[in-house]
């Protein structure tokens, strides 16, 4: 189980991005964090995977624990060895390497024997990548790149995969395919997933538990099915108002309600 | 008009190829660093010089056997480059590329001073234990310098070795991944800083070898650093990040230089050898800025 205990993240010693954020990621489940642009979702993931330092950010308060062990002071490559791996927003495959080499780079921490096994597993889940394994990754389609990015992360045999907006910029059909595979990986391989999404409907459909993040803090959380029914979530994240009408910005009421969250 | 002298042409061509391969060796150090760390190292020529001076000084002035002198020089370059990476280059990660360029230019100046400061400024011979009588091939009487042959052979071995390393070995793939994106590599569990250090170490070893070979040809003093300038036409022609490019670029530069020296110099009175590679370089930049084998930036639209 991964625990974020009231963490605070500061960039450049002054910019406070996360203001006391607590998230629990239970083993074998899909947990999702919803939120608008700039809410601090990506920063949360980077804090977990130890990638704040190159961007001159740091966890200044609180702690991140993996099965009771504190990991927020670890280097990024040690966190991968602990079994947490991040899939970046916008895919970020190694464009100059072939798809196969991308997987080899992803399995960097593995022995050759395990590497072979993992490759077979990844190619099994993503037959499309298997077909195009010798193509330079920069020339793959967006959907294929996203699959490759997820497959590459799986190479390290992770316990927990952090997924940052896997739906970004992809066609709805491809998104559905990718989310189907994520859900399958979770069920068949027991991979724990922390999913960050702007597309709330999609995320809540496959997640077990959801958090809503605004302005660097968690403002609400609950089982995914309950969140999906929540009036505020419906209105702000799913775009459906209470009476099923189209939302109007003339309606002042929802601003007031939003204020209540921010207190 | 008299008959075209094919023997002369062939001799220029062959020795041009050999010299070109020796340029490739120097340029390889530059490419190794650029490929994995994105840093442009203006001090590669000075690395070669300092490595050559160490061999020359310890062999000629202190009387060490050659193999010991060479090992000493390789060991020094490895340690020096590890230290350099740790103290100077690591804190620069993520800074603008110009900052790193300036740092290496400063380093070059420092090394150019440090060489004579510690070992004296005299030119020393560096004698490899091979016969330097020219090898004569065929009825066209092609004269080949054995040091050229040895240098070219060493260069080819190293180039093939590194080519294999980058394409086939896991560490090589990881190194290319690091070159592609530092951040993503980190997230894949790759210890990026260790690979940076490895790249500098490899460049140091290559520089030491280059210092021995070029030093045995020209003698060792600070002038040896000028070889470093030849790196630029080689890598621009071949592509900044390609090992095949380094080989081809080196050969082109070597051959063009030699042909210019053979045919143009008698006409204009000399000196064309020194600038023709740079003319080629400028032409290449105008028409194919990534070089013959460089990777263009892939952009999805």
Nearest to A108 among B93, B174, B180 (CB): B174
| 3-class SS string, B270-295 | CCHHHHHHHHHHHHHHHHCCCCCCCC
For chain A, the domain total comes to: 2
Query: Do A251 and A149 fall into the same domain?
Result: no
As a whole number of angstroms, the distance between CA A227 and CA A212 comes to 9
Which two three-digit tokens encode residue B36? Answer: 């994995």
Query: Do A88 and A190 fall into the same domain?
Result: yes
Query: Do A242 and A203 fall into the same domain?
Result: no
Query: Do A25 and A54 fall into the same domain?
Result: yes
> Which residues numbered 88-107 in A keep a CB inside 8 Å of some CB on B?
88, 92, 94-97, 101-102, 104-106
pLDDT digits (tens, 9 = 90+) for A57-101: 999 999 999 998 999 889 899 999 999 999 999 889 999 899 999
With a cut of 70, list the residues of chain B below it in pLDDT.
1-2, 94, 138-141, 297-301
Enumerate long-range contacts of A225-232, CB under 8 Å, 24 or more apart.
A227/A34, A228/A201, A228/A204, A232/A257, A232/A258, A232/A261
Enumerate the residues of chain A whose CB falls inside 8 A of the CB of residue B184: 88, 92, 94
Contacts A–B by Cβ distance under 8 A: 83
Q: Is residue B88 part of a domain?
A: yes
Cβ A94–B94 below 8 Å, yes or no?
no
Nearest to B298 among A50, A106, A138 (CB): A138
Query: Do A145 and A171 fall into the same domain?
Result: yes
Cβ B187–A109 below 8 Å, yes or no?
no
Enumerate the residues of chain A whose CB falls inside 8 A of the CB of residue B182: 54
Q: Is residue B209 part of a domain?
A: yes
Domain that holds residue A19: 2-219
Q: Residue B140: its pLDDT value, please?
A: 61
Query: Do A193 and A251 fall into the same domain?
Result: no
For chain B, the domain total comes to: 1
Cβ B298–A76 below 8 Å, yes or no?
no
Query: Do A103 and A174 fall into the same domain?
Result: yes
Distances (CA, A) of B63 to A247, B51, B215: 89, 17, 17
Cβ A95–B191 below 8 Å, yes or no?
no
Distance from CA of B89 to the nearest CA of A (A): 14
Nearest to A105 among B183, B188, B295 (CB): B188
Which residues does B contribute to its contact with A (CB < 8 Å)?
Answer: 93-94, 170, 173-174, 176-177, 179-192, 295, 298, 300
Enumerate the residues of chain B whose CB falls inside 8 A of the CB of residue A94: 176-177, 180-181, 184
The answer, for A54 touching chain B at a CB cutoff of 8 Å, is: yes
Which two three-digit tokens encode residue B231? Answer: 């790196």
A21: which strand partners? A7
Enumerate the residues of chain B whose CB falls inside 8 A of the CB of residue A112: 170
Q: Residue A257: its pLDDT value, please?
A: 54
Enumerate the residues of chain B whose CB falls inside 8 A of the CB of residue A138: 298, 300
Query: Do A169 and A83 fall into the same domain?
Result: yes
Q: Is residue A144 part of a domain?
A: yes
With a cut of 70, list the residues of chain A below it in pLDDT.
239-263
Enumerate the residues of chain B whose CB falls inside 8 A of the CB of residue A81: 189
Query: Do A263 and A143 fall into the same domain?
Result: no
For the entire predicted model, the pTM comes to 0.83
- Which CATH number is A7's domain given? 3.40.50.300
Q: Is residue A224 part of a domain?
A: no
Distance from CA of A99 to the nearest CA of B (A): 12
3-state secondary structure at position B161: helix
Domain that holds residue B263: 6-287
Q: Residue A243: its pLDDT value, please?
A: 58
The residue of chain B nearest to residue A96, with distances taken between CA atoms, is B180
Predicted ipTM? 0.84
3-state secondary structure at position B58: helix
Query: Do A64 and A146 fall into the same domain?
Result: yes
Q: Residue A262: its pLDDT value, please?
A: 46
3-state secondary structure at position A210: strand
The answer, for A85 touching chain B at a CB cutoff of 8 Å, is: yes
Cβ B187–A76 below 8 Å, yes or no?
yes
As a whole number of angstroms, the distance between CA B182 and CA B260 comes to 43
Enumerate the residues of chain B whose CB falls inside 8 A of the CB of residue A54: 93-94, 182-183, 186
The residue of chain A nearest to residue B296, with distances taken between CA atoms, is A96
Q: Residue B201: its pLDDT value, please?
A: 93
Q: Residue B244: its pLDDT value, please?
A: 87
Distance from CA of A240 to the nearest CA of B (A): 33
pLDDT digits (tens, 9 = 90+) for B138-192: 666 677 888 888 889 989 999 999 989 988 899 999 998 988 888 899 999 999 8
Q: Does residue B107 contact residue B84 with C-beta atoms inside 8 Å?
A: yes
Query: Do A187 and A259 fall into the same domain?
Result: no
Enumerate the residues of chain A whose CB falls inside 8 A of the CB of residue B170: 104, 108, 112, 115
Q: Is residue A255 part of a domain?
A: yes
Q: Residue A244: its pLDDT value, please?
A: 55
Which two three-digit tokens encode residue B52? Answer: 């050559």
Q: Is residue A101 part of a domain?
A: yes
Q: What angle do CA A102, A66, A58 make, to 5 degrees?
A: 75
Query: Do A33 and A154 fall into the same domain?
Result: yes
Q: Is residue A225 part of a domain?
A: no
Task: Compute chain B's Rg from CA coordinates.
Answer: 20
């Amino acid at each position: 189980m991964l625990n974020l205990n009231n963490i605070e993240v500061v960039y450049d010693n002054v910019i406070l991005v996360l203001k006391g954020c607590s998230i629990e990621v239970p083993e074998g489940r899909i947990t999702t964090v919803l939120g608008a642009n700039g809410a601090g979702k990506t920063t949360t993931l980077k804090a977990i995977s130890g990638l704040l330092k190159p961007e001159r950010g740091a966890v200044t308060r609180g702690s991140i624990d993996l099965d009771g062990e504190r990991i927020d002071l670890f280097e990024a490559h040690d966190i991968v060895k602990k079994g947490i791996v991040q899939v970046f927003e916008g895919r970020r495959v190694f464009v100059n390497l072939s798809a196969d080499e991308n997987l080899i780079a992803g399995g960097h921490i593995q022995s050759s024997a395990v590497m072979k096994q993992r490759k077979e597993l990844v190619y099994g889940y993503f037959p499309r990548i298997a077909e195009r394994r010798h193509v330079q990754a920069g020339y793959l389609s967006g959907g294929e790149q996203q699959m490759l990015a997820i497959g590459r992360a799986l190479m390290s045999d992770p316990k927990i995969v952090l997924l940052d907006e896997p739906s970004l910029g992809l066609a709805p059909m491809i998104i559905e395919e990718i989310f189907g595979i994520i859900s399958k990986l979770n069920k068949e391989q027991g991979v724990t997933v922390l999913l960050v999404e702007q597309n709330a409907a999609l995320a809540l459909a496959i997640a077990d538990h959801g958090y809503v993040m605004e302005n660097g803090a968690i403002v609400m959380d609950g089982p995914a099915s309950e969140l999906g029914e929540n009036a505020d979530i419906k209105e702000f994240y799913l775009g459906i108002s209470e009476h099923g009408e189209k939302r109007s910005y003339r309606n002042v009421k929802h601003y007031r309600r939003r204020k209540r969250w921010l207190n | 008009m008299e008959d075209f002298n094919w023997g002369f042409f062939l001799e220029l061509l062959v020795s041009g190829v050999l010299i070109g391969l020796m340029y490739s060796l120097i340029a390889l150090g530059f490419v190794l660093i650029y490929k994995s760390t994105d840093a442009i190292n203006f001090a590669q020529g000075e690395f070669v010089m300092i490595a050559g001076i160490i061999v020359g000084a310890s062999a000629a002035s202190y009387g060490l056997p050659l193999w010991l002198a060479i090992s000493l020089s390789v060991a020094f370059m490895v340690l020096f480059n590890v230290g350099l990476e740790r103290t100077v280059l690591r804190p620069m990660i993520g800074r603008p590329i110009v900052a790193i360029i300036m740092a290496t230019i400063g380093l070059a100046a420092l090394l150019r001073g440090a060489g004579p400061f510690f070992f004296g400024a005299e030119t020393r011979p560096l004698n490899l234990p091979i016969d330097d009588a020219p090898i004569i091939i065929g009825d066209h009487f092609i004269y080949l310098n054995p040091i050229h042959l040895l240098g070219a052979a060493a260069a080819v071995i190293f180039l093939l070795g590194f080519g294999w390393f980058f394409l086939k070995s896991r560490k090589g793939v990881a190194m290319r991944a690091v070159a592609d994106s530092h951040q993503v590599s980190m997230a894949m569990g790759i210890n990026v800083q260790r690979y940076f250090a490895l790249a500098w170490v490899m460049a140091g070893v290559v520089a030491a070898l280059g210092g021995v070979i070029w030093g045995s040809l020209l003698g060792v003093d600070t002038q040896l650093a000028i070889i470093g300038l030849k790196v630029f036409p080689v890598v621009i022609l071949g592509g900044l990040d390609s090992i095949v490019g380094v080989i081809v670029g080196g050969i082109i530069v070597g051959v063009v230089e030699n042909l210019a020296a053979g045919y143009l110099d008698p006409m204009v009175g000399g000196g064309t050898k020194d600038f023709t590679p740079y003319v080629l370089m400028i032409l290449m930049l105008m028409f194919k800025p990534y070089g013959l084998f460089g990777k263009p930036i892939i952009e999805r639209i």
